[in-house]
Structure formats: C-alpha cells, structure tokens
Amino acid sequence: LAFLRDSVVLKINALTGNRAGVNFAPRRAWDSVLRRRGNIEKAQAVFGYRAQATIDDGLQRTYTWLKQNAADA
C-alpha cells in the first residue's frame, strides 16, 4: 500500500539492471511537493492491514512476476 521512507527509484533501477541510469532533473516551477510518502495508518485501522514483506522483497517479487507475466499482458 505505501512505504514510509523516501522513494525507491534507485533500488528499482538497480534491480532491473537499467543501464541508462536515473536523471534527477531540477524541480519544475509547478512541482512544489518536496517528498511524497505513503501512509498506511488508515488501512491498518480500518482493515487491520499489516505489511507481510519488506520493501526490498516486495520489489523483487513484483519485478520477478512482471518478467514472467509481461508477455501475457
């Protein structure tokens, strides 16, 4: 649902083996939000949600699933 730390862009880049790299461009005038972070407190309170995977494990499992199933999409 969400991750309470900063973005995982560099982790995704490394996981996928993206050799193009990541270009952190200067912020545009309309982009005033410095950081975006999800919050799972409502899901915890309403649904009893508890994360069952670490962010690293979840990214790896998602990437593996996408590689295996992308041809089916």
Residue of 11, 12, 2 lying closest to 37 (CA atoms):
2
What tokens does 10 get? Answer: 């560099």
pTM, two decimal places:
0.62
Whether the per-residue pLDDT at 3 is higher than 70: the answer is no
* Percentage with pLDDT > 90 across the chain: 26
Cβ partners under 8 Å of residue 50, min gap 6? 44
Give the number of C-alpha atoms closer than 13 A to the C-alpha of residue 59, restricted to the C-beta side: 15
- What is the pLDDT averaged over residues 32-59? 87
For residue range 14-45, what is the model confidence (pLDDT) as tens digits?
A: 888 888 888 888 888 898 887 777 788 999 99
